[in-house]
Structure 1
C-alpha cells in the first residue's frame, strides 16, 4: 500500500508540475506582451509567492484537523476552479484586465500554498528512511524531465498558438492530477499540539526552525539561496534574452530547458550516489553552492547564447547537488509529528523571501542592468557555501 501511495503521489506531483509550467508560460508571456515591462512581469512570481506565504502561515491550523491527502484534493480541485475564469480572461489578449488576472493568480497560488507542504510531508510516510534520498532524487528527476517538456513545449506552442490554448492544456493536466489522488492512502499524522491554542499551532513549526541549531542553519542558507535563485525567474530570463543576448524569445524556452536538464542530471547523480548522499550530505551541499556561485559569475559576464545554454545547465546540476541532500536531512532528522508544520514554516520563509527578491531583481534589472542581478546571485551563493562549510558538522546526519 505504501508503494502504491508513493507512486500515486509521484504521478500527482508530475501532472501538477506540467500544469504549473504551462500556466506560468501562458501568464508571464501574456503580461509581458501587454505591458512590455520587466518590473510588472516580475510581479507575477511576487504575487504568487506572497499568496503562498499567506496560506503557508495558516497551514498548521488545517493540518491538525484534516488529513494531508484531503488537503491535497481540496487545494488542487480549487486551483482548477480558478484556472477556468483565468482562461476566460485570456480569450481576448489585447483587452484584458491586469488587476483581475493578478487576483486570480493570487487565488491559485493560495491553493498551491496548501498543496506543497502537504505533498512534501507525505513522502516520509510512504518511503523508508534509507530510501528517502532515492525517492527525493526520483521525484526531482521526474519533475525536471516533465519541466523540460513543459518549458520547451510551452515555448513552441507560444510560437503557434495563443496563451489561451496553453492555459487550457494546463487545466487538463491539473484536472488529471486530482484524479491520481484517489489511490493515495490517507496518513493520519499524530500532532502533539492538537489541543493547543491557535497561536501555539501557528508557531509550532517556527519553534523547531528557531530552536534547533541544524534547522536554524538550514533556514539561513535557504534565505540566501532563495534570493540567489530569483535571478532565474522566468521574467528575468526573458528580459536577459531580449536585451542582453539580443536573440528571439524562443531562446527563453531553450535556456529554461537547459536549466531543467541540469536539474535532471543533478537529481540523477544523487539517485545513483544515494548511499553517498546519505553518508556525506554536507559535502554535496558545500559543493553545490560553491559550484553554482562560480558558474553564475560566468553567466553574468557571458554574451553568447550558446555558451549560456551550457552555463544554465551547469547551474541546474549544482542546484540539485545541494537541494536533494538538504531535503533528505530534514526528512531524516524530524519526527513525523512535526514535519507538516516545519514544511509549512519553511515554505513561508521561501515564499516571503522569493516575493521580496523577485521585486528587487525586477528593479535591479530595470535600473542597473540585467547582468547585475547575476553578480548579486553569485555573491549570495558564495555566502551559502561558506555557511555550509562552517556548519558542516551540524549537517552530518546519517
Structure 2
C-alpha cells in the first residue's frame, strides 16, 4: 500500500520540497535582477535561460543515467544544487553590481537548471519501482497533488516572503529546502539494476531514449500528443494571458493572478479526485486521455471566446480537471512501457521534446497573438488539441493494450 511505502514517501516529499525551493529561488532571482538592473529584458532572461538549460539537459542526461545508479544520481544532483545555491547566496550577499558577478549569476542558473534536468528523469522513473503496478495511477495522482499544492502555495508565499524577508533571506530558505530534499532522497532504498555488458558509448546512451520512443507505437503516440498539446499550452504563458485579461475580458492585472490561481486550484482538487477514484481509472486510461483531450479542446474555445471575467475564471478552474486526468493517465502509460534506466532515458528524451516545443510555442504564439489577436490564438491551439485527439483515437487500441513488462538484460545488485 502507498500509505505504508516509506521509500515512496521519501521520494514525493523530497520532490515537493525541491519544487517549492525551485519556485522560490526563481521568484527571488527575478526580483533581485530587476531591482539591481531595472531591466525587464534581463528579468525575462532568467526563465528563458532556465528553460533552454533544461532542454539541453535532456540530451546529456542519458550519459549520467547510464553511468550511475538513479538514487545516487538524484541525491548527487540535489546536493550539488544545494551547494551552488549556497554559493549564489554568498554572491548576492555582496551584490551583483559588476559585470563579473552578473555573468556568474547566470552561469549558476544554467548549471543548477542542468542538474535539475539530469535528476528529473531519474526521479520520475523510480515511481513504478517503488509502488505496485496496480497503484501506479494512485501514486502518480498523489505526486501531482503534491506538486500542484506546492505550486499553488509557492507564488503567493514567495510574494509575501519577498516583502517581509527580502531576496537574501529567501535565498537562504531555498538552501534549507534543497538540503532537506537531499536528506529525504538519501533515505530512499531502491534495488538498482546494472547492465552486465560493457558500458555503452556516450552516443549510444544519448540515442537509446529516442530509439525506445520511436520503436514503441504507444510511446510514439503519447509523445506526438504531448508535442501538440504542449505547443497549445503555450497560450497560457504569462505574456499572452496578461494580454487576454486586458483585451478579452477587460480586467486589470489582479485578474491575471486570479485566473492562474484558479487553474492550479483546479489541478490540485482534480488530483485528489483522481487519487480517490484511481481504481476506476486503471482499466480506462486510453478513454480518459481521449475524453480529457476533447474537454481541453472545448475549454480552450470557450475561454478564448468569452468576454465574462467570471466565466473565464470558472473555465480556468475547470481546465485543471481534464488536464490532471490526462497527465496522470499519460504518465502511467509511459511507466508501463519500460523500467529502470530505460524508463529514465525515455523520460529524458521526452522531456527534451516537451521543453523544446514549449519554448518554440512561446515565440510562435506570441507572434500569432500580436498579428491576429488573442482570441484567434486560443482557437488556433484548439485545433492542435483536435489533432491530438485524432491521433489518440486512431491509436486507441495501442493505448489500451495491456502492460507487458519487457525483459531486461540486467542483474540485481
Q: Shorter-chain TM-score: which interval? A: 0.7 to 0.9
Task: Name the stretch that deviates more: 47-56 or 79-88.
Answer: 79-88
* 2:5 maps to 1:21: no
Distance change >3 Å, CA 337–CA 106, structure 1 → 2: closer
User: Which of 287, 291, 294 is the aligned partner of 1:283?
Assistant: 287
Q: How does 1:44-193 map to 2 (within 5 A)?
A: 44-84=46-86, 86-87=88-89, 101-158=105-162, 162-191=166-195
Correspondence for 1:388:
392
Q: Structure 2: which 5+ runs fail to align?
A: 403-413
Using the size of structure 1 for normalisation, the TM-score is 0.87
Q: Structure 1: which 5+ runs fail to align?
A: none
Distance change >3 Å, CA 380–CA 109, structure 1 → 2: same
Mapped contact 2:192–2:340 kept (Cα < 8 A): no
Mapped contact 2:292–2:323 kept (Cα < 8 A): yes
Mapped contact 1:193–1:201 kept (Cα < 8 A): no
* 2:333 maps to 1:329: yes
Q: Distance in 2 between matches of 1:74 and 1:372?
A: 46
The structure number with the bigger radius of gyration is 2
Distance change >3 Å, CA 26–CA 374, structure 1 → 2: farther
Q: Offset of 1:264 from its aligned partner?
A: 1.4
Q: Distance in 2 between matches of 1:379 and 1:19?
A: 36
Task: Name the stretch that deviates more: 352-361 or 135-144.
Answer: 352-361
Deviations 1:58-99 (A, max 9, x none): 222211221111111121222233334555676799968676
Mapped contact 1:68–1:187 kept (Cα < 8 A): no
Correspondence for 2:382:
378
Mapped contact 2:10–2:184 kept (Cα < 8 A): yes
User: How many residues are treated as equivalent by the alignment?
Assistant: 396
Correspondence for 1:356:
360
Correspondence for 1:210:
214
Q: Distance in 2 between matches of 1:31 and 1:55?
A: 24
Q: Distance in 2 between matches of 1:239 and 1:197?
A: 48
Mapped contact 2:129–2:339 kept (Cα < 8 A): no
Distance change >3 Å, CA 277–CA 219, structure 1 → 2: same
Mapped contact 1:285–1:326 kept (Cα < 8 A): yes
Distance change >3 Å, CA 45–CA 245, structure 1 → 2: farther
Using the size of structure 2 for normalisation, the TM-score is 0.85
Distance change >3 Å, CA 268–CA 297, structure 1 → 2: same
